[in-house]
Homo-oligomer: A and B are copies of this chain.
Amino acid sequence: MAEIKYEITEKIAILSKSGSWTKELNKVSWNDRPAKYDLRDWNHDAGKIGKGTTLTEDEIQHLKETLNAIKL
């Protein structure tokens, strides 16, 4: 599997922690591309990158408005 290059350029929040796994909102630059918002599971102890998704500025703005509009 090709080596994935990434850099966490900004640590924003740890949403939860389960054992060595954390679910985090960060800004991440993938393969030297401009950093994007990134919501993902990580196991930093074991150097593992979990499942997640990247979000553009527009998408995260839309997500914020959505979360404020719905009843959680």
Q: For the complex formed, measure the closest distance between the CB of A37 and the CB atoms of chain B, giving whole angstroms.
A: 9
Question: Beyond A25-B66, A40-B53, is A16–B72 a contact (Cβ under 8 Å)?
Answer: no
Q: Is the CB of A60 within 8 A of B72?
A: yes
Q: How many copies are assembled?
A: 2
Interface residues of A (CB under 8 A from B): 12-13, 15-16, 23, 25, 39-41, 51-53, 55-64, 66-68, 70, 72
18 contacts between A and B (CB under 8 A): A13-B62, A15-B58, A15-B59, A15-B62, A15-B66, A16-B56, A16-B59, A23-B55, A25-B66, A39-B53, A39-B63, A40-B53, A52-B52, A61-B72, A64-B64, A64-B67, A64-B72, A67-B67
